[in-house]
Amino acid sequence: MSEHDETIWRTSSGRVGKMMAILGGTVIVGAIIFFALGDYWISELSPAGKTFAGITDEEDAPTVTQTGEDIPITLDFIESKDFRTLAFNALPGEPGNNPTINANVGDRIIFNILNAGKSFHAFGVTSNEEGFGGILSGTDVAAANNPLKPGDGGTSEFIPGEPGTYYYICTVPGHREMGMVGTIIVE
Amino acid sequence: MVLELRKARPVWQIMFSTHHTDVGLMYLIFSILAMFIGGAMAIALRVELFAPGAQLIQDSMTFNRLFTIHGTTMIFLFLLPSAAAVGNYLVPIMVRYKDMAYPKLNAIAFWMIPPAAALVWLGMADFGWYANPPYSVISSPAPAAEMWIFGLKILGVSSILGSINFVVTILKCKHPDLSLGKVPLLAWSFLSSSIIVLAAMPTFAAALIMLLTDRLGATGFFNPAMGGDPIAYQHLFWFTFHPEVYVLVIPAIGMMYEIIPRFSRRPIFSHGSGVFAFVLLAIVAFASWAHHMFATGMTFTEKTVFMVGTLAAVPASAMHVFNFLATMWNGRIKFATPMMFAVGGIALFFAAGAGGVVNTAMPLDFITHDSYWVVGHFHLFVFGTIAFGTIGFFYYLFPYVTGRMYNEKWGVVHFILAFVGACITFFTQHILGLFGMPRRIYDYPEIPEWVSMNALISVGAMIILVGMGIFLVNLIYSAAKGKPANLEDPFGLGGKYYYPFSQRNPHHGEGGY
Amino acid sequence: MGHSNWAEWIYVAVVIALLVYVGAEAWNIENLIEHTPQDAEIIKVTAQQWFWSFEHEDGTKEVGEIHLKKDHAYKFEITSKDVNHNFNIPEFVVLMDAVPGRINTVWFSPNQAGEFDIQCREYCGLIHYNMRAKLIVEDV
């Protein structure tokens, strides 16, 4: 079978080089664009997930300008030893548990948030009476699907434009029901 | 041989080739690469689980992504391509044809895999390799989930194209003098696994599209908030993937059918039983899918039907075990590395199957479901049987592919470490499951039995790691510097090593096999 | 085929006999297990990411723990509010998926007093590994 001792070339090296350059170039450019969009590692929920969580694209009430005073408050996420009771600052029954904030319309409440627990948490203010949705824009620190790790913290602020009762909560599903909720009474 | 590292062929010549030996070689290299990547993930998981508390991995999201991609990699990027490697290389030879039926399609089917692998690996989805909704629809982060879905879509198409090729090659391109009944059992194993793929895979392709449209919010197939049923997905998934596990195991058993008769220096006990068992297994594989769903709230009658369907597949597998043992009986056995892996594989296959019978007994499933028992059980199959059979067969093919012999002593060391490690790791996981430890958990409470068993399991995993490291070094070093093999009879068995009809790779000058 | 294969036939027969036995025994026992006693008290179990809540027949709610009485029959009606979970009390072999949009039932009667673990046995996300609760069985 010596007629086949000659190697059979399927294509030329020039062509191969061009094809590799095109394919490789596409991959590299695509990767740069992709990773430049940043923070993709733990990222958004799917559209169905957002619907489920009650997160919609427009939530934004018109931005309210501050006409009152600053109210800074420190809120630490804490957990009971068995992880079944969660709270801000102190466990239920102890002084300082889930402090109620009183404010006037136009005041700026500045939240200093720290995850002092061992689990994951995230922060937000909502007017919803239950659940983890309806977070008002600008009030969020981290999010349920990109939460604060133990020791992490952040700040956010809330300028109420309407009087009423608002709630500051941990936005990780279930944590509000387990105790991580406090009231903001705005007059 | 197609892989000569000393006077290497130009890489692009292999990459652009459509010859079945070259495509087989590319599948082989890719699958070994994927095996080590998946293995590295497994080691990361086991280091983390060595003790309670965070060790290597600081958050549960990373852990969840790792176990998902570990499973996906091992099944779709290691086991399926390694079977394709062996099949591509040998099926045309076994049916005495010059190439696969559709060589260009063959190459396309291979080249779809690296981009799909890139999607899966870069995405690092976190929903477990089953991708069960509603979690995968409403709770799993993007774009990881979408990348996984697209990656698996591509892999599914690749599988189907490969299967079409195998079926047509074996049924239509075989030599006119060769009757189907006389076709070697390894080729039969590819025929039956390919037919299973063709029947089962489209269901999962549909499920993937449904999952994607559900995620986009356009449909509510599996989203109860939109009137869907999450359990429907599980039916679709398992309808594909229960038969799929047979697609994984059948080629490995076929590979054992090559090794065991040769190394026992006896003909196979009953070729007819082997063919019958393969065909029966391919059919009965479809009767048992919902045994994965016994805990979803099925009725008694439904569970009974699937229990019976599962039990019905056991005799076919048992026939293979009998065939192997009867072949070895009274044989003049040469325990070279391939034979050790094959025999070790049969032993672990038997243990895996026994554990499976426990799972399918309906009340016992309430103890074992979604616990480490299941993890131990399926790893005895995928590692103990399939990986053992495959690795043994890689050793067997080594002289054929490279023209050189691997180092036998190190091969034996690899086997001992792999076997001992597998026993320590996976049998202990069975017991851990009986003590109630769930699977897919990043951390566990300080229950003394769990702590000690997890530590033992992690040690077992390290033993396997050392063995695999030796394997890698052996492969690379021997391919470059190993002793040239006697291609007529590399293992000194006496008699013809391979098929009387050998293949000629058109790129190769002299001696091209 | 010039050799006798009586051994193979006997082997297959033995395997089939064993499997028939396993199947029949399993069928028998499952039949017994699935019969919920009439007087079982109904406990509603709700699973959500990542904790358990319970409601007794009289409306009492408990979160993260449940108090039951020894040697009383209880039937759990299990559902989920978001994704699949699995309600599992390993020490009493209670195991059933919590599927949103669906109520699954399983019954048991605790025959020992004490504290027992409840855990989630279906992957449900970030804190699946710590989705635990306590079962407290009281001697009455």
For Cα atoms C58, C63, C64, give the angle at the middle one, nearest 5 degrees.
130
Average pLDDT, rounded, for chain B: 91
Residue B500's pLDDT band, with cuts at 50, 70 and 90, is very low
Q: What is the ipTM of this complex?
A: 0.93
What is the dotted CATH code of the domain comprising C41-138? 2.60.40.420
Chain mean position to CA B260: 19
Across A27-186, the runs of DSSP E, i.e. the strands, are 70-79, 86-88, 101-103, 108-115, 123-126, 153-158, 164-170, 181-186
State the nearest Cα–Cα gap between B231 and chain C, in angstroms. Answer: 8
Cβ–Cβ below 8 Å for B132 and C26: no
Domains, chain B, with CATH or none: 11-481 (1.20.210.10)
pLDDT in tens, B268-325: 999 999 999 999 999 999 999 999 999 999 999 999 999 999 999 999 999 999 999 9
**Interface test mutation site (partner B, options C81, C99, C127, max chain B beta carbons within 10 A):** C99
Helix axes B230-264, B80-94, angle to 10 degrees: 50
Pair B363, C33: CB distance under 8 Å: yes
Closest residue, chain C, to B273 (C-alpha): C8
Spatial separation of the C-alpha atoms in residues B181 and B406, rounded to whole Å = 34
Cβ–Cβ below 8 Å for A149 and B59: yes
Residue B199: the pLDDT is 96
Model confidence at A12: pLDDT above 90: no
User: Which residues of chain A have a CB within 8 Å of the CB of C130?
Assistant: 83, 119
**Interface test mutation site (partner C, options B137, B300, B317, B368, max chain C beta carbons within 10 A):** B300
Residue A11's pLDDT band, with cuts at 50, 70 and 90, is low
Lowest mean pLDDT among A141-150, B31-40, B53-62, C8-17: A141-150
pLDDT in tens, B417-470: 999 999 999 999 999 999 999 999 999 999 999 999 999 999 999 999 999 999
User: Which residues of chain C have a CB within 8 Å of the CB of A178?
Assistant: 51, 63-64
Residue B331: the pLDDT is 86
Closest residue by Cα to residue B204 from B166, B142, B247:
B247
pLDDT in tens, A152-182: 899 998 888 889 999 999 988 778 888 899 9
Amino acid at B497: Y
State the nearest Cα–Cα gap between C63 and chain A, in angstroms. Answer: 8
Encoding tokens for residue B340? 């050790």
Residue B256: the pLDDT is 96
Mean pLDDT, rounded, for A74-95: 86
Cβ–Cβ below 8 Å for C11 and B322: yes
Flag whether residue B8 sits within 8 Å of chain A, measured between CB atoms: no
Amino acid at A124: G
The single residue listed with the structure tokens 């043992």 is: B325
Compute the Cα dihedral for C132, C137, C138, C140 and give only its sign. Answer: positive
**Interface test mutation site (partner A, options B61, B214, B508, max chain A beta carbons within 10 A):** B61
Residue C1: the pLDDT is 44
Residue B92: the pLDDT is 92
Identity of the residue in A16, A42, A53 whose CB atom sits nearest the CB atom of B141? A42
Mean pLDDT, rounded, for A103-108: 88
The sheet that has A70-79: what strands, in order across it? A86-88, A70-79, A108-115, A153-158
Residue B510: the pLDDT is 44
